[in-house]
Amino acid sequence: MRLVGAIIGVGLMAAPVLADAVDERAARKMLFSDRGHAVQVADGLSETDAATVRAIIPLMAEQLRQPVRYYAAIAWSPENGLVHESLQGAMNHHTPGAAARAAVAACNAQLATGTGCEVAAWVVPKRYKRHDLSLSVSATAAFNGTYRKTDGPKVFAISPALGSWSIATGEAAALADCAAQSGAADCEVVIRD
């Protein structure tokens, strides 16, 4: 989920608070379309830096030969500028906050000393607003394509930190498959029918 490669508000960074799994009907109301995205640039960037960050996203997509998928974040070291090896990104996470944490960690890992990276921008769904449940674009597509078309008992599990996900007929199988995909220790059931 790492790409090459200021926080604009508590609402954007806050992790969803989902006490219990929701059913398919409730999930459909909370999830965004798996088509299209918007770029939100962090407050405090100069007009030049904001324009540069907006221009970087299509270049990243071209380099990766795939679209940049929500939820994504681009982190940079203000001390080193945007044209530096510490510029890093993370995509296809389940929340803007998870993408931001991954991008900042990757950026800080590229710095010779200290930790000074900040988020420069987020890629979010069109008309984004915070919901109690959010899924990455690939997980949302799987929810719409596979989960909703599956009859009988079904479970959707995700790793909030790493972005992995799984659909299975039972909770144990969904959690095990989610963990096996990325080595995640935080998989949890978020949708259950």
d(CA 128, CA 161): 20
Q: Which two tokens stand for residue 152?
A: 């009988």
CB 4 within 8 A of CB 76: no
Strand pairing report for 88-90 and 2-3: antiparallel
Mean pLDDT, to the nearest integer, of 30-42? 90
**Structural element, H or E, at residue 158:** strand 155-158
CB 147 within 8 A of CB 135: no
d(CA 56, CA 41): 12
- Reduced to 3 states (helix: H, G, I; strand: E, B; else coil), residue 77 is strand
Question: What residue type is assigned to position 121 of the chain?
Answer: A
| Res 34 pLDDT > 80 | yes
Mean pLDDT, to the nearest integer, of 34-63? 87
The reported pTM is 0.84
| Res 1 pLDDT > 70 | no
pLDDT tens digit sequence for 67-109: 778 999 999 999 887 888 888 989 899 999 999 999 999 999 9
Nearest Cα neighbor of 176 from 193, 159, 160, 152 is 159
Phi, psi for residue 22 in degrees, rounded to 5: -105, 170
Q: What's the pLDDT score for residue 182?
A: 84
Mean pLDDT, to the nearest integer, of 30-51? 90
Q: Which two tokens stand for residue 96?
A: 């803007």
Beta bridge partners of 166: 157
Mean pLDDT, to the nearest integer, of 148-172? 94
Q: CB neighbours (10 Å) of residue 189?
A: 19
Nearest Cα neighbor of 155 from 18, 163, 146 is 146
Identify the band that residue 37 occupies on the pLDDT scale cut at 50, 70 and 90: confident
With a CB cutoff of 8 Å and minimum separation 6, the contacts of 104 are 73, 75, 117, 118, 119
Beta bridge partners of 75: 88, 119
